[in-house]
Homo-oligomer: A and B are copies of this chain.
Amino acid sequence: MNSYSPAVVVREVGLRDGLQILPRTVPTEHKLGWLRAAHAAGLREIEVGSFVPARLMPQLADTALIVEAARKLPGLVTSVLVPNVKGAQAAIEAQADAMLLPLSASRAHSLANLRKTPDEVVEEIARIRSLRDATGSSCVLEVGLSTAFGCTIQGRVDEDEVIRLVKAVIDAGAERVGLADTVGYADPLQVERLFERCFAVAGDRLTCGHFHDTRGLGLANVYAAWRAGARRFDACVGGIGGCPHAPGASGNVATEDVAYLFASMGVATGLDFHALIALRDSLATRWLPGETLHGNIWRAGLPKTMKEAA
The answer on a CB contact under 8 Å between A296 and B213 is yes
A151 partner residues in chain B, CB cutoff 8 A: 304
C-alpha gap A297/B216 in the complex (Å) = 6
Chain A interface residue count, Cβ-Cβ cutoff 8 angstroms: 41
C-alpha gap A224/B265 in the complex (Å) = 12
A126 contacts chain B at the CB level, 8 A cutoff: no
C-alpha gap A299/B150 in the complex (Å) = 19
The answer on a CB contact under 8 Å between A150 and B303 is yes
The answer on a CB contact under 8 Å between B216 and A260 is yes
C-alpha gap A250/B299 in the complex (Å) = 9
The answer on a CB contact under 8 Å between B217 and A305 is no
The answer on a CB contact under 8 Å between A265 and B190 is yes
> A267-309: contact bitstring with B at CB < 8 Å (1 yes, 0 no)?
0000000000000000000000000000111011001110010
Least CB distance from A221 to B in Å reads 9
Copies in the complex: 2
The answer on a CB contact under 8 Å between B264 and A187 is yes
The answer on a CB contact under 8 Å between B265 and A187 is yes
A223 contacts chain B at the CB level, 8 A cutoff: yes
A305 partner residues in chain B, CB cutoff 8 A: 150, 155-156, 185
- Contacts known (A187-B264, A190-B265, A265-B187); A296 close to B215, Cβ less than 8 A: yes
A248 contacts chain B at the CB level, 8 A cutoff: yes
Residues of chain A from 149 to 197 with CB closer than 8 A to chain B in the complex: 150-152, 155-156, 183-185, 187-190
A297 partner residues in chain B, CB cutoff 8 A: 215-216
A220 contacts chain B at the CB level, 8 A cutoff: yes
In the complex formed, the residue of B with least CB distance to A305 is B150
> A191-231: contact bitstring with B at CB < 8 Å (1 yes, 0 no)?
00000000000000000000001111101101110000000
In the complex formed, the residue of B with least CB distance to A262 is B187
Residue in contact with A246 in the complex, picked from B188, B295, B300, CB distance below 8 Å? B300
Provide 22 A-B residue pairs closer than 8 Å at the C-beta atoms, listed in order of the A residue: A150-B303, A152-B304, A155-B304, A155-B305, A156-B308, A185-B303, A185-B305, A187-B261, A187-B265, A190-B265, A215-B260, A215-B264, A216-B219, A216-B297, A217-B219, A217-B261, A219-B219, A220-B220, A220-B223, A223-B223, A246-B299, A249-B300
Beyond A217-B219, A217-B260, A217-B261, 19 additional contacts (C-beta under 8 Å) are A150-B303, A152-B303, A183-B303, A187-B261, A188-B220, A188-B223, A189-B265, A190-B264, A214-B300, A216-B219, A216-B261, A216-B296, A219-B219, A219-B220, A223-B223, A223-B224, A246-B299, A250-B296, A250-B299
